[in-house]
Amino acid sequence: MFKNGKLFLPPPRDGSDLKELFKRLAAAGAGRPLSKDGFPAGPWTPELLAEAISQIDSNRIGVDLRTVQLWFQDNDKGISAANIHWLARVFGCGDAAATSEWQMELSAAQSRLAAKRRGRKSAASDVALAAPDMARPTTFEDESDSPAEIARNPDAKRLRRSFSLARRSEALFSRGSPLNLPASVFAGAAALGFLSYMTGIHDATYVRADGLAKQVGFLWAPNWTFLFMVLLPLFFAFVTELLV
pLDDT score of 130: 62
Instruction: Identify whether 150 is part of a domain.
Output: no
Query: Are 172 and 124 within one domain?
Result: no
Lowest mean pLDDT among 3-7, 108-112, 135-139, 205-209: 135-139
Instruction: Tell me, yes or no, whether 92 and 186 share the same domain.
Output: no
> What pLDDT is attached to residue 144?
46
Residue-level pLDDT at 142: 44
Residue 82 in any domain: the answer is yes
How sure is the predictor about 242, in pLDDT bands with cuts at 50, 70 and 90? low
- Do residue 117 and residue 172 come from a single domain? no
pLDDT for 20 equals 92
Give the domain range for residue 90: 2-130
What's the pLDDT tens digit per position in 27-40?
999 999 888 887 88
Is 173 found in the same domain as 113?
no
Residue 141 lies in a domain: no
The pLDDT of residue 236 is 72
Q: How many domains does the chain have?
A: 2
Q: What DSSP letter does each residue of the chain carry, written as one string?
A: -EETTEE------S---HHHHHHHHHHHTTTPBB-TTSSB-----HHHHHHHHHTSTT-SS---HHHHHHHHSSSS----HHHHHHHHHHHTTT-HHHHHHHHHHHHHHHHHHHHHHHHHHHHHHHHHHHS---PPPP-GGG----HHHHHH-TTHHHHHTS--HHHHHHHHHSSS-TTHHHHHHHHHHHHHHHHHHHHT-SS-EEE-TTS-EEE--GGG-TTTTHIIIIIHHHHHHHTGGGG-
Which comes out higher in pLDDT, residue 200 or 132?
A: 200
Q: Give the pLDDT confidence of 18-29 residue by residue, as tens digits.
A: 999 999 999 999
Provide the whole-model pTM.
0.49
Tell me if 136 is assigned to some domain.
Answer: no
Tell whether 38 and 97 lie within a shared domain.
yes
Q: What is the mean pLDDT of the chain?
A: 80
